[in-house]
Each structure stands twice: as structure tokens, then as C-alpha cells.
Amino acid sequence: MAKGDAFHKADASALLDDRGYSGALIRGQNPALLFEKGVRERITDSYYWKEQCFGLNAATLCDRAVELKFIGGTTGIMGKPTPFLCLAFKLLQLVPEKEILLEYLNFSAHSPEDVDTDNAGEFKYLRALAAFYIRLAWEPVDIYKTLEPLLLDRRKLKRRTKDGFTLTYVDQFVDDLLTKDRVCATSLWKMPPRSLLEDLDLLEPRESLLQEEIEALDEEGDDDVQIVGSEGDD
């Protein structure tokens, strides 16, 4: 059925159909199950979902994502989902291809030659959204490979908590995604730690940008100890 590939449902009825779901799978199960049941229900009940997430595709989703003003999970006593979470849920419905996700992540209006880490990912909330989705949907090696370059992005993000806002940064958010097990009202699936993947030769050991500084500090520290030691000898 060629038509099934070129189109998808405007609403989430097919996604939430837990017996007759026939769309793309993520790690062998319905993508919607990556969100908790309570959160899922609150998302589909929310006004933002009904009004703004209806009939989106991978391109029109950008319209909504660039207008995001904050990230976050659920807010208030009722656990109202943020637009960020609603759009992440929409992404789970669409399951876009890898290239599209990479475009979200590293979009730059500059020509491909001029793109570097400074101007990649111009829409930072779109970038955060793509990173969140990648952490949920991709395979561990790809997750580490695509998300670790984002640790150089030091732009600010506004994060909505249960009862207010806090300041965070893109790199901090990405670090949370890689290390924590609960981000934005979602239990992230247990990812094998980096060290294990390194042992299996699937990943190269990560070179931190701060490595040189740390080594320099260590050396200084050694010098200090020596000086103290030599003084002690005298």
C-alpha cells in the first residue's frame, strides 16, 4: 500500500490504538509507550494538543517548535503538559527519518561549508526537542554520537518546573538526557553506559574539551605537592 507510506493520520487515534497499531515501532513496541500512561492521557486531553498538534507533519511541526518558549514536563497540580512535551509526543507519532531529525538538530541557514558548531541549530528549542526525541527513539551508539557534540552548545534554555521556571542550558539539558533517568516527566529507557559501549569497541573514548585544562591543573597540583615536599625535606 503505497498510500500508507506517504500519509499519516492527522490525529493520534492510530497511535493510541493499543491493539490495532500498525505503524513504525521503536525497539519493538508502540512509540507512545515511551511516555507514561498518565502523561499520555493528559497530553491528548490538553488544549494545546487538540488545537496546535492536529494535522502536523515533520515540516509544519517546525512552526510550532520554533515558537516554543520553554522546555519542561508537566506543570501545576493537575500535571498539565507543556507544549514541549506535546510536540515530543507528536514526534513519537510521526517517527521521522534520521535525516529529518539531524536537520532539526543541526539546522543552519548558512551554506553547508560555513556550518560549524557556532551557528548550527539556530532554533535552540527545536534542537532541544530533537535531542529529547533522539534520546527516546534511537539506538545507544547513535545517541552518544549525535548528542555529545551538543555538549558544546552553551545557550540558555528556560525550563518550566512544577511551579515556576528555572534557567538551564542546552549542554546541561543534553547531559541530563545522557545521564539521568527521568527528564521532562518521562522515564527514559535504560541506556547502556558509555563505558560498556567503549569496551565493546562500538564507541571511541570521549575526548573532553576540558581535558587539557584538567591535565594542566593536575600538573600544577603535582608541582605544588613537590614544592611542599621539597620544603618539608629541608
Write out the residues near other proteins by the rule CB under 8 A.
1, 3, 5-11, 22, 47, 50-52, 54-60, 62-63, 66, 97, 99-100, 103-104, 107, 109, 122-123
- Residues contacting 214, CB < 8 A, separation 6+: 208
Measured distance CA(94)–CA(140) in Å, rounded:
21
- Residues contacting 95, CB < 8 A, separation 6+: 23, 24, 26, 31, 137
Least distance (Å) from other proteins to the CB of residue 18?
Answer: 16
Least distance (Å) from other proteins to the CB of residue 145?
Answer: 19
Identify which of residues 20 and 205 has a Cβ nearer to other proteins in the complex: 20
> 3-state DSSP call for residue 219?
helix
Identify which of residues 9 and 27 has a Cβ nearer to other proteins in the complex: 9
Q: What backbone phi and psi angles, to 5 degrees, belong to 225?
A: -60, -40
Least distance (Å) from other proteins to the CB of residue 206?
Answer: 28
DSSP lists the bridge partners of residue 161 as 164
Least distance (Å) from other proteins to the CB of residue 51?
Answer: 5
> 3-state DSSP call for residue 158?
strand
Least distance (Å) from other proteins to the CB of residue 200?
Answer: 31
What is the grid cell recorded at 113?
Answer: 561549508
Identify which of residues 8 and 194 has a Cβ nearer to other proteins in the complex: 8
Identify which of residues 76 and 205 has a Cβ nearer to other proteins in the complex: 76
Identify which of residues 99 and 207 has a Cβ nearer to other proteins in the complex: 99
Taking residue 59's Cβ as centre, other Cβ atoms within 10 Å add up to 9
